[in-house]
Amino acid sequence: MAHASEGRGQEFRLPDLGEGLTEAEIVRWLVEVGDVVAVDQPVVEVETAKAMVEVPCPYGGVVTARFGEEGTELPVGAPLVTVAVGTGEDGAAPAAGTEAAASAGGGSRAAESAGAASTGAESRTAEPVAARAEAAGSGNVLVGYGTSEAPARRRRVRPDRRAATGAAVRTNGRVRVAGPVDGPAEGSADGPVPVISPLVRRLARQNDLDLRELTGSGPDGLILRADVEYALRASAAQGGRAADHEARTGRAPVTAPTAPASATTPGAPRSGTVRTPLKGVRGAVADKLSRSRREIPDATCWVDADATGLMRARTAMNASGGPKISLVALLARICTAALARFPELNATVDTEAREIVRFDDVHLGFAAQTDRGLVVPVVRDAHARDAEGLTAEFARLTEAAHEGRLTPGELTGGTFTLNNYGVFGVDGSTPIINHPEAAMLGVGRIVAKPWVHEGELAVRQVVQLSLTFDHRVCDGGTAGGFLRYVADCVEQPAVLLRTL
C-alpha cells in the first residue's frame, strides 16, 4: 500500500520563524488531510517562545499528510505537511478524488486513491499550482522557502515510510496520517506511550528504559523529559546500592516483589504535587530572567514622588475633547525625556567585545501580564511619539498580547523597559532587568497618603518609583540623576516643557 504522503508532492517543513527560535508547539491544525490549500494559506497555528503564529504554506495543492498532533513540540526543519502540488484545471479535482476515496473505501484504499488522484492530476495538467505561484509571487517569505519562484523538484529515494510515520487511518470520513511512532498501532497492548517529544523517546531508548513503566506527570499522563531523567537517576542510585551490598556481603540483595507501576514509578508525581513544564512563553521568561540574574550586576534605587500634579495634568488633557491619554503613555513620555538627558541607560553590554553599546533610538518595552504569561511588547521609536501616539500604540500592543497575536518582532529589540506593577495593587518592587537591556523603571500604585506640601501636611497622590540598572553601564550618580528627573516630571509635569 502506498503511504498517503508519498507521490509527487512537496513536503513543507517548519520554517525558521526568526529571532533565534529553534522549536514550536502545534496549537491547532487549520487544515485536514484531503483539503485543498492555496499558496500562502495558513495551515497550522503554532506557539513559539515569543508568540502565537499562523504558519502559511508556500505550496498550493492537496494536503496528503500532516505530521504531529496538537500539543506536540517540533524543531525547526521538522515536516509539517505534505502537499500534492498538481491539481486539475479548476483546482478541485484532487479534493473530490480524495474525498470520494475516503468515503468509499477503507483506510488503505483511501490512501491509495488519494495518491493516485494527486499523481493523475499532476500528469493531466500543464500548469500546476506551484507554477501559478511562480507567476504570481508570494507575499510571505519564509526562511528556507523562496516563495517568489517555484521550488525545484527533487526525487527522493525513501524507505517504506509506513514504519517511520505510521499508517493511514480513517477519521470522520477523511484519510489521516498518524505521526511518527516507534511501535505497533496505538491501542494495542504493546503500542507506543504518549511522550512530549521524540527526543524523550530517544533518551529512554538509549538508556534501555521502558516508557510503559512510567506514569507521566504532564497533562493526561504525558511523559516529560523530567520524568525520564528522574527515572534514570533513581535507577542508577538503586544499581549503585545493589553493587555496594554485593561487594560487602558477597550476595545479591533480596528485592521485594515489584508493585504496580502506578505505585512505584519513579517518574510519577507524589500526591499533592503539580508539575508544570517550563516551555513556550513561560520557558522563555524563565530562561531570560535566569540569564539576567546570572550575567548582569544589577542595583536598585527608589524614591517616593507626589503624583498629584501628573494626575491633574492628565485630567486636564482628557477634558480638552481629544483622544484620551493613558497614564502609562505619560510615564513613557517622561522616560524618553529622561533617557535623552541620561543616554547611558539606553544601552546594552557586549560581553564578547567588552564594550558598552549605546543606542540613539528608544525602543520602549513594557511589561504586560497575559493568560499565557508575562510578555514585554516593544513600542518602536517611542522617543519620536507624542502622548497621543504612545497611547494608541500601547493599546494596540496590549490587545494583541492578550489575544496572543504578537509577532516575534514586536517582542524583541527593546532598549529600555517600563514596568507598571502598580496595576497589581503593590507599592514597590525590585524588578529584574529585561536582558540584554541595561535598565528598567518600575512604577508602583498611586495612592492617597499624608504628604508635606508647601510646608503643610496634606493628602496627596503618592507613587513609589524604582530604577534597576546594570552597574556596568553607569554608576549610582547617573542612575540617581535619571530617577530624580523622572520624579521631578511626575511632581511637576511642566518640567517636560524644557525638553520639547
Catalytic residues: 471, 475
The whole-angstrom separation of Cα 84 and Cα 288 is 41
Beta carbons of 165 and 180 less than 8 angstroms apart: yes
* Angle at alpha carbon of residue 483, lines to 310 and 466, rounded to 5°: 90
Q: Tell me the C-alpha distance between 161 and 115, whole Å.
A: 14
All three cell numbers of 97, joined, read 478524488
Give me the residue label for grid cell 540623576: 481
195 CB-near residues (< 8 Å, 6+ apart): 201, 204, 211, 216, 222, 223, 224
Give the integer Cα–Cα distance in Å for 484 and 95.
68
The whole-angstrom separation of Cα 61 and Cα 43 is 12
Helix (H) or strand (E) holding 75: strand 73-75
Cβ atoms < 10 Å from Cβ of 482 = 24
225: CB partners within 8 A, 6+ apart: 196, 197, 199, 200, 203
Residue entry with cell 558598552: 356
Size (the chain), residues: 500
- Burial of 131 from C-beta contacts in 10 A (0-12 / 13-18 / 19+): middle
3-state secondary structure of 358: strand
Please compute, for residue 96, the number of CA atoms within 13 A of its CA located in the half-sphere on the CB side.
9
Q: What is the DSSP letter of 127?
A: S
> CA separation (Å) from 441 to 175, 350, 382, 387, 486?
55, 22, 15, 18, 10
Give the per-residue SS3 of 413-471: CCCEEEECHHHHCCCCCCCCCCCCECEEEEECCCEEEEEEECCEEEEEEEEEEEEEEEC
CB 63 within 8 Å of CB 35: yes
Helix (H, G, I), strand (E, B) or coil at 138: coil
Closest of 234, 228, 238, 163 to residue 202, by C-alpha: 228
Q: How far apart are CA 93 and CA 119, in angstroms?
A: 11
Enter the C-alpha cell of residue 105.
Answer: 473505501
Angstrom distance (rounded) from CA 498 to CA 500: 6
